[in-house]
Chain A
Amino acid sequence: MVSAGWVERIKESSSEAKVLPGILRPGAYFFNGDEAAAEGAIAANGRFFAAYPITPATEIAERCAARFPECGGMFIQMEDELAAMNCILGAAWAGAKALTSTSGPGFSLMMENLGLGIMLETPVVLANVQRAGPSTGLPTSVGQQDMMQARWGSHGDYEIIALCPDSPQECFDLMIRAFNLSEQFRTPVLLMSDETIGHMTEKVIIPPAEEIELVPRRYTRAAPGDYWPYVPDEDLVPPMARAGTGYRYHVTGLTHDHRGYPDLDAEGQHQLLWRLKNKILQNQKKILSFEMARMDDAEVCLLAYGCSSRVARSVMELARERGIRAGLLRLITVWPFPDDLVRDVAGRVKAIIVPEINLGQIVREVERAARGRTKVVSVPHAGGGLHTEPAVLQVIEEALR
């Protein structure tokens, strides 16, 4: 009795604009970031989960293992992250809204088929709960060291969308947004969480289902026989066709033409690569999201993302208490990088301070975007914990001196 309806719901989960049954009752919950991310996936009609367990992302897999069967979803623990990433690509082509979760070492393994997802233009979500590396590093401690890997980790040249939550609430909210963006632009989207956010527990409000907006997959309206898989709409995004619906299309990780057939010359490569890049860049305004706090009169800007933005917010208040007009620019969309926004801010402040739990990754983008208009100061941290507030405050004071 359950099975028939169950099958229908998985492969049609991508077609629904309404939230499917299975979402938690609206209300306030006390969730850690990983649990909230899993619930966000369910709220977004995510109905296919494949992953390999890894600290500190395991709680996402555990919650999905418990929740997906009762939501009409499929859960499978794969043999490794290479398999997990590929498995969700296959599931997406079958019509599912699919996701995986991992952390650093697994993120490295997923890079291969993140590239396939980009090349095949497959809407999926990959949640990376970042820990400190390199290699096994600090399995249970925080890092933000995969930010450049998120951008450039798979070989070849491409654009990627990456969102950084700063709270369990945002793990829920941004998971939904990640799914929406993946469907809108037919591309894998990264939810770049971190160990601090993933493991901290806080109030999470689950809104009523009717208040959640979902972007259904853009399926072709062409008849079978009139359809090629890579003929883009005006926004450069091509409509999809679900496996098993008679379109009988071919897709390949090779450079291909609009038919999905290999097209192995420089001109074919030029056409495909630029379209893949431009479908993101031309739509950047729809993807960009950020938060500004007390930036109106700011003389110095703290630019941060993820868990580091919590420290930055605290430092901003401390600085204000000391008479320093500090403001906060919190990047929620880190990739594609908001060049224009940062350039604008750079023209208004004496310095941009960039605390991040790595030895200086996003600060390079800030420097590039600022184009010398202001002083850009990195506040590196090797990982294993958050910055202390006095340490960041001191950097601000020195920068303004």
Chain B
Amino acid sequence: MVQRVMKAAGRDVQEIRFCGFGGQGVILAGYITGKAAAIIEGRHATLTRSFGPESRGGACSAAVILADQRIAYPFLHKQDVLVAMSQAAYVEHIGQLVPGGILITEKDLVTVENPRQDIRSYAVPATRLAEELGRKLVLNIVMLGFFTCVSRVVDPESMRKAIQSSVPAGTEDLNLQAFNKGYAFGLEHGVNG
């Protein structure tokens, strides 16, 4: 298993936020991450979510806590990793990212002004990478691939298994391709970011 960056830093709890707007698959990204950790890897995970009354277009956020112990308080105290897929979501949540934390933004959807110097920051052209696969909709899974690569909180193979059992039937291959594409982009551009 890939060594966990956070674990190496002496902590066994990772708090992650995926955010964007409704319709982007934000919740699914959080769901897959939690499932990979809790079900495939046998750790503990909680997923909580928040969204507005809109089915599409409203603010949307999935908060995932991963831990080796039972998790009591299910909401985030802080953010170790922030994955932002919209400008509004980025603006709302960047302040809670811990120093040394990881920021991953969708390059075309988020403009980072006054970048923080105390974090590791990545911009991923996930929409364009998804379009190369012919389905713009899988941008969330591209982001997930990149996130898995640079954060190393969950083993990529666990993530692949979780994706396979979570996406609609018939779309497994497409989603795995999307994941691999994001992961490869991470290997190429991210790991030493």
Note whether A and B form a binding pair.
yes
Residue of B with least CB distance to A328: B72
Contact residues of A: prevailing secondary structure:
mixed
Q: Which residues of A contact B42 (CB under 8 A)?
A: 28
Which A residues between 293 and 343 are near B, CB-CB below 8 angstroms?
307, 310-311, 313-314, 317
Binds A, one of B44-52, B80-88, B98-106, B176-184: B44-52
Q: How far is the CA of A17 from the CA of B159 in the complex (A)?
A: 39
Binds A, one of B15-23, B31-39, B146-154: B31-39
Q: How far is the CA of A28 from the CA of B38 in the complex (A)?
A: 9
Contact check, B31 vs A30: say whether CB atoms are below 8 A apart. yes
Contact check, A202 vs B72: say whether CB atoms are below 8 A apart. no
* Total CB contacts across the A-B interface at under 8 A: 51
Q: A34 → chain B, closest Cβ, in Å?
A: 13
With A196-B74, A313-B72 already in contact, the answer to whether A30 and B35 are too (CB < 8 A) is: yes
Contacting residue for B39 out of A30, A32, A140, CB 8 A:
A30
Contact check, A311 vs B73: say whether CB atoms are below 8 A apart. yes
Q: B169 → chain A, closest Cβ, in Å?
A: 15
Contact check, B39 vs A29: say whether CB atoms are below 8 A apart. yes
Q: How far is the CA of A248 from the CA of B134 in the complex (A)?
A: 66
With A28-B38, A29-B39, A30-B39 already in contact, the answer to whether A201 and B31 are too (CB < 8 A) is: yes
Q: How far is the CA of A56 from the CA of B100 in the complex (A)?
A: 36
Contacting residue for A314 out of B34, B35, B49, B73, CB 8 A:
B73
Contact check, B75 vs A201: say whether CB atoms are below 8 A apart. no
Contact check, A201 vs B34: say whether CB atoms are below 8 A apart. yes
Contact check, A30 vs B75: say whether CB atoms are below 8 A apart. no
Which A residues between 185 and 218 are near B, CB-CB below 8 angstroms?
196, 199-203
The tally of residues in A whose CB lies under 8 Å from a CB in B reads 20
Among A203, A317, A386, find the residue whose CB has the most chain B CB atoms closer than 10 A.
A203
Q: Which residues of A contact B45 (CB under 8 A)?
A: 30, 202-203
Residue of A with least CB distance to B162: A30
Q: How far is the CA of A196 from the CA of B46 in the complex (A)?
A: 11
Contacting residue for A202 out of B46, B49, B75, CB 8 A:
B46
With A30-B31, A201-B34 already in contact, the answer to whether A311 and B72 are too (CB < 8 A) is: yes
Contacting residue for A201 out of B47, B53, B72, B73, CB 8 A:
B47
With A30-B31, A202-B38, A203-B39 already in contact, the answer to whether A386 and B75 are too (CB < 8 A) is: yes
With A311-B72, A386-B75 already in contact, the answer to whether A202 and B39 are too (CB < 8 A) is: no
Q: Which residues of A contact B47 (CB under 8 A)?
A: 30, 32, 200-202
With A201-B46, A201-B47 already in contact, the answer to whether A317 and B38 are too (CB < 8 A) is: no
Q: Is A159 an interface residue (CB 8 A)?
A: no
Q: Which residues of B contact A311 (CB under 8 A)?
A: 72-73
With A30-B34, A30-B39 already in contact, the answer to whether A200 and B46 are too (CB < 8 A) is: yes
Residue of A with least CB distance to B38: A203
Q: Which residues of A contact B53 (CB under 8 A)?
A: 140
Q: Which residues of A contact B34 (CB under 8 A)?
A: 30, 201
With A30-B31, A30-B35 already in contact, the answer to whether A199 and B49 are too (CB < 8 A) is: yes
Among B44, B49, B53, B73, find the residue whose CB has the most chain A CB atoms closer than 10 A.
B73
Contact check, B39 vs A389: say whether CB atoms are below 8 A apart. no
Contact check, B72 vs A203: say whether CB atoms are below 8 A apart. no
Among A140, A201, A307, A385, find the residue whose CB has the most chain B CB atoms closer than 10 A.
A201
Q: Which residues of B contact A196 (CB under 8 A)?
A: 48, 74
Contact check, B73 vs A386: say whether CB atoms are below 8 A apart. yes
Q: Which residues of B contact A310 (CB under 8 A)?
A: 72-74
Q: How far is the CA of A380 from the CA of B42 in the complex (A)?
A: 36
Q: Which residues of A contact B72 (CB under 8 A)?
A: 310-311, 313-314, 317
Contact check, A203 vs B44: say whether CB atoms are below 8 A apart. yes
Contact check, B31 vs A28: say whether CB atoms are below 8 A apart. no
Q: Which residues of B contact A29 (CB under 8 A)?
A: 39
Contact check, A389 vs B74: say whether CB atoms are below 8 A apart. no
Which A residues between 27 and 70 are near B, CB-CB below 8 angstroms?
28-30, 32
Q: B15 → chain A, closest Cβ, in Å?
A: 14
Q: How far is the CA of A32 from the CA of B45 in the complex (A)?
A: 12
Among B31, B46, B47, B72, find the residue whose CB has the most chain A CB atoms closer than 10 A.
B72
Residue of A with least CB distance to B166: A30
Residue of B with least CB distance to A32: B47
Q: How far is the CA of A200 from the CA of B39 in the complex (A)?
A: 15
Quick one: CB contact mask for B44-83 with A, threshold 8 Å, 1 for yes? 1111110001000000000000000001111100000000
Contact check, B73 vs A200: say whether CB atoms are below 8 A apart. no
Q: Which residues of A contact B38 (CB under 8 A)?
A: 28, 30, 202-203
Q: How far is the CA of A138 from the CA of B149 in the complex (A)?
A: 39
Q: Which residues of A contact B49 (CB under 8 A)?
A: 199
7 A-B pairs within 8 Å (CB atoms) are namely: A30-B38, A199-B48, A200-B48, A201-B34, A201-B46, A203-B38, A203-B45
- Known contacts A200-B74, A202-B38, A203-B39; 18 further A-B pairs (Cβ under 8 A): A30-B34, A30-B35, A30-B47, A196-B48, A200-B48, A201-B31, A201-B47, A201-B48, A202-B44, A202-B47, A203-B38, A310-B73, A311-B73, A313-B72, A314-B72, A314-B73, A317-B72, A385-B75
